[in-house]
Amino acid sequence: METLFFGLAYRLLYDDSSSDPAGYERYSNYFYMPIGLTTTNYINDDGWSIGATGEFDPLLLGYQVSDFGDVEITNRQNPGSGYGLRGAVSLAKKKNRRGWL
């Protein structure tokens, strides 16, 4: 069985190197669109199955805010300037009408 999926997503990443004399705080904000495919194939009659997921995440908008204490700088990333990739493989055993990983 195959399932195609897509959506909208947001990620916030916070970095704090302010304990270093040359350090600062940075907030990275990413808006992206996950697009992917999930597959599941049953291997045998014992209920074992194997599946895979692949995902492509094109960047819709991104911006970083760097806080140097007395100065704050914002940098913008434009659409198409970045992307993410994700992949996974799973093995599952179905037992008593419940899935076990």
pLDDT of residue 32: 96
Whether the model clears a pTM of 0.85, i.e. scores above it, the answer is no
pLDDT of residue 97: 59
Range of the domain at 7: 2-100
| pLDDT at residue 101 greater than cutoff 70 | no
Q: Count how many domains the chain has.
A: 1
Confidence of residue 44 (pLDDT cuts 50, 70, 90): confident
Q: Are 42 and 48 in contact (CB under 8 A)?
A: yes
Mean pLDDT of the chain: 89
| pLDDT at residue 80 greater than cutoff 90 | no
32: buried, middle or exposed (CB in 10 Å: 19+, 13-18, 0-12)? Answer: buried
Q: Mean pLDDT, to the nearest integer, of 36-41? A: 92
